Amino acid sequence: VGLLYQEYRDKSTRQEIETRRLQDSQTDPEESSPSEETPSEAEPTSTTESKAPPQISLLRNSNSRFNLWQDLPEIRSSGVLSILQPDEIKLQEAMFELVTSEASYYKSLNLLVSHFMENERLKKILHQSEAHILFSNVLDVMAVSERFLLDLEQRVEENIVISDVCDIVYQHTVNHFSVYITYVSNQTYQERAYKQLLQDKPAFREVISQLELDPKCKGLSFSSFLILPFQRITRLKLLVQNILKKVEEKSDRETTALDAHKELETVVKACNEGVRKMSRTEQMISIQKKLEFKIKSVPIISHSRWLLKQGELQQMNGPKTSRTLRTKKLFREIYLFLFNDLLVICRQIPGDKYQVFDSAPRGLLRVEELEDQGQSLANVFILRLLENADDREASYMLKASSQSEMKRWMISLAPNRRTKFVSFTSRLVDCPQIQCVHPYVAQQPDELSLELADVLNILDKTDDGWIFGERLHDQERGWFPSSMGEEILNPKIRAQNLKECFRVHKSDDSQRRKLGSRNRQ
């Protein structure tokens, strides 16, 4: 296989972006050609010289490079391209993409193990426990990938027209992919150990630098190899989604694709929870140590609680009637800790401590924006606690440092509040959409990390360059800078994106409806 997975994935997502740009510039999404409509992660693959039936070996050979299933000599010489319908060719490309990308991923995993993990100099430098934290169960992950790839390859070799791959994805996800949860859950420890080793062991730093310079690594960093399993399990879910969008509705292939997608979604969610769990626990312990209660103490640490947002706001002094007064002391600083189920209102005191003077369950918070109140009251909103620490209703007039900060607080404090473009309860409205053209790493708990080619509904935006969006493929919501994306202007493309999203998640929706029906009963 010619490309390492990191190169392959980058090439694929950039091609996906360009395909969407092309479609967005056209009046009719059907105008683009089949090869343009298929965002191909398509790995350079290789072939073996064989007689009937033609065989395509992805694991054993790495000489030739082909971007698409239809470009393979075996396919071109067979005559099937003149027989198959355009929609079936697109589906073949989507399935082939899943197989070839797994071959590229396996190649990168193999390099991580053979070039880094098994390096004799590195073995001598690392203590056994350090090596275990750094590489975790990567051998198990690689063994699972190899078994998965062999089954996929066998299916491809059965017939030049691929019958299905999602049944194989389903079986391997259910029976073997738990190794990904173990690996990804170790990510926080892994990152910390790597940083510590770079800092404390010059010999480790030197060996890693030398290994990274090897032409085999193609200029890629050691850390880019370490994060491969998490990237792959997430990408695999998207590849199955791509297949699901192209299979015939109400067909057996749709059923297997839906089943595979559901199981992959379970694994990805477990991976995400595994990553969050440790950092959340540490964060809660740290916050608990900083709080001093002026009111009745509230236990902060809980397994089901995590931080959503924290920060300083300005509280207006005095009753509402005095809000027109022009004085430097009109506002005073307060500090908020907002958890998923609780708001704690504090004032900062010496020694990096916070004195808590009020609190309320998150479900009993309401917010209201003040409009056209003049410069002194710009970015001001009212926070109402329907039941505070004294079991009474309380109101706070709060001023944020910017429009985006005000909106971010309002949406975090009252998440079910209607946004600018679409209600949270409505999924059938044509709202603005954006595709990510620059990756973004979230800096705050209310922000959303973005990968190249992510497509999001724009739920709200601010004048100072921030967007609140909902990613279509997993319904995750959060803020990100508007400079990270390009708006999708063609309404037909937006409608097509929504239609595909509903189709992918229709099994989830039917499950939710069943649950809702049971709850009402």
Is 21 inside any structural domain?
no
440 and 300, same structural domain? no
Q: How many domains does the chain have?
A: 3
Average pLDDT over residues 125-140: 96
Read off the pLDDT of each residue in 80-98 and give the average, rounded to a whole number: 94
- pLDDT, tens digit (0-9, with 9 covering 90-100), for 345-376: 999 999 999 999 999 999 999 999 887 666 66
Structural tokens at position 182: 């173990």
Instruction: Tell whether 41 is covered by a domain.
Output: no
pLDDT tens, residue by residue, 151-167? 999 999 999 999 999 99
The two three-digit tokens of residue 188, written as one number: 């926080």
The reply to whether 367 and 444 lie within a common domain is no
Q: Is 50 exceeded by the pLDDT of residue 4?
A: yes
Residue 428 confidence (pLDDT) above 70: no
pLDDT confidence tier of residue 503, bands split at 50, 70 and 90: confident
| 506 and 448 fall within a common domain | yes
Given this model, what pLDDT does residue 520 score?
Answer: 38
pTM: 0.79
Residue 485 sits in the same domain as residue 436: yes
Give pLDDT, residue 513.
Answer: 44
Looking at the structure, do residues 385 and 505 belong to the same domain, yes or no? no
Mean pLDDT of the chain: 85
Which of 366, 385, 413 corresponds to the end of one domain? 413
Burial pattern 167-181, b for ≥16 Cβ within 10 A else e, equals bbbbbbbeebbebbb
When pLDDT is averaged across residues 434-445 and rounded to a whole number, the result is 94
Query: Sorting pLDDT into bands at 50, 70 and 90, what band is 425?
Result: very low
**CATH number, position 501:** 2.30.30.40
- 431 band by pLDDT with thresholds 50, 70 and 90: confident
| Domain at 366, CATH number | 2.30.29.30
Q: For residue 486, is pLDDT > 50?
A: yes
Residues 244 and 304 in one domain: no
How many CA atoms lie within 13 Å of 214's alpha carbon, on the beta-carbon side? 14
The answer to whether residue 64 scores a pLDDT higher than 90 is: no
In the structure encoding, which two tokens stand for residue 360, read together?
């309320």
Rounded to 5 degrees, φ, ψ at 292 are -125, 130
Q: Are 448 and 476 in contact, with CB atoms under 8 Å apart?
A: yes
In a domain, 60, yes or no: no
- Please check whether residue 315 is in contact with residue 323, taking contact to mean a CB–CB distance below 8 angstroms: no
Verify that 260 and 230 share a domain, yes or no: yes
> Prior bond to 53 cis, omega within 30?
yes
- The SS3 of residue 134 is helix
Q: Give the H/E segment covering residue 395.
A: strand 394-399
pLDDT at 380 over 60: yes
Are 230 and 178 contained in the same domain? yes
Place of tokens 């649950």: 515
Q: Are 196 and 344 in the same domain?
A: no
Q: Is 168 helix (H, G, I), strand (E, B) or coil?
A: helix
Same domain for 282 and 303, yes or no, is: no
Q: State the pLDDT confidence band at 422, using cuts at 50, 70 and 90.
A: low
Please count the other Cβ atoms lying within 10 Å of the Cβ belonging to residue 230: 18
The secondary structure element, H or E, covering residue 101 is helix 86-111
Domain match, 87 and 189 both? yes
Predicted confidence at residue 372, as pLDDT, reads 63
Domain that holds residue 281: 65-286
Q: Which of 307-316, 491-500, 511-520 has the lowest mean pLDDT?
A: 511-520
Give yes or no: residues 259 and 390 share one domain.
no
Place of tokens 């067979």: 78
Which of these three, 385, 413, 441, is where a domain ends?
Answer: 413
What is the distance, to the nearest Å, from the Cα of residue 160 to the centroid of all Cα atoms in its chain? 34
CA–CA distance, 341 with 232 (Å, rounded to integer): 33
Q: What is the pLDDT of residue 27?
A: 61
> Does any domain span residue 45?
no
Report yes or no on 515 lying in a domain: no
